[in-house]
Amino acid sequence: MLKSLQNAFESIQQDSSARVVMIRSLVPGVFCAGADLKVRRTMSPSEVHTYVNSLRYMFSFMEALSIPTIAAIEGAALGGGLEMALACDLRICGENAVFGLPETGLAIIPGAGGTQRLSRLVGRSVSKELIFTGRKIDAIEAATKGLVNICVTAGEAHEKAIEMAQQINEKGPLAIKMAKKAIDEGIETNMASGLEVEEMCYQKLLNTQDRLEGLAAFAEKRKPLYTGK
C-alpha cells in the first residue's frame, strides 16, 4: 500500500491538471490504524528503521505537493494513520473519528513526522500531552484543539471534503500554489523572512493571465475562468 500511495503522489505531482488531492479510506470505521504490530514483531531493528524512513519520506513528499491536500477522516486515525493526516494541508472528520499517537505505550515515539507536525499544528504543550500519554481523543476534542479543520456528521466527511475541494478549485490555481508555498515556507522562519517569501510568491502572480482574468471577471460581474497560466 505504501508503494502504491507513493506512485499515486508521484503521478499527481506530474499532472499539471491536478488542483486538489483528497485522501480517504474505503474501509468502514477506519481511516488508517497505523502499523500492523503483529508484522512489526517479526522485523529486525534495521528493517523497522528502513520502513519508518520510507513512511517519513512519503509523508514529506505528500506534504511538499504544490497543490492542497485534504484528509477526509472517518473512524480511527492512529499512529502512522494520524501522521499521514497531519501531512495534509486540511483535515475534515466525521464525528465518529478517533485520533491518537500511541507509540510511547510501545516504548517508541512517533517516527514519521508526528512529533514535528503535531507540535506545529496544535502547539508544544498539547502535542506533549497527547504523545506522552498516548491517549485517544474524539472528533469534538480534535476540532477544539485545532487538530482538524471541520467536524461533520459521521459518514459525511467525504462529501464535505468534496465541497471544500470545489471551493478551492474555483480559485486561481497558481494563486493557490503560491499561497501554500508562502504559508508553508514562511511559518518555518521569522516574520521578516516570511514577508520576503510572501513578496516573492506575490510577484510570481503579477504577470499571469489568470490575474487579468480575475480583474476582468470582477468588472464584468461574472465568474472567472482560470486556466493556471
pTM exceeding 0.95: no
Please tell me the distance from the alpha carbon of residue 122 to that of residue 143, in angstroms, as a whole number: 10
Residues 11-31: tens digit of each pLDDT: 999 999 999 999 999 999 999
Tell me whether domains 1-169 and 171-220 share a fold: no
The residues assigned a catalytic role are: 35, 80, 83, 103
Q: What is the pLDDT of residue 104?
A: 94
Domain ranges of the chain: 1-169, 171-220
Residues 89-127: tens digit of each pLDDT: 999 999 999 999 999 999 999 999 999 999 999 999 999
> Which superfamily does CATH assign the domain made up of 1-169 to?
2-enoyl-CoA Hydratase; Chain A, domain 1 (3.90.226.10)
Q: What is the pLDDT of residue 46?
A: 86
> Which superfamily does CATH assign the domain made up of 171-220 to?
Lyase 2-enoyl-coa Hydratase, Chain  A, domain 2 (1.10.12.10)
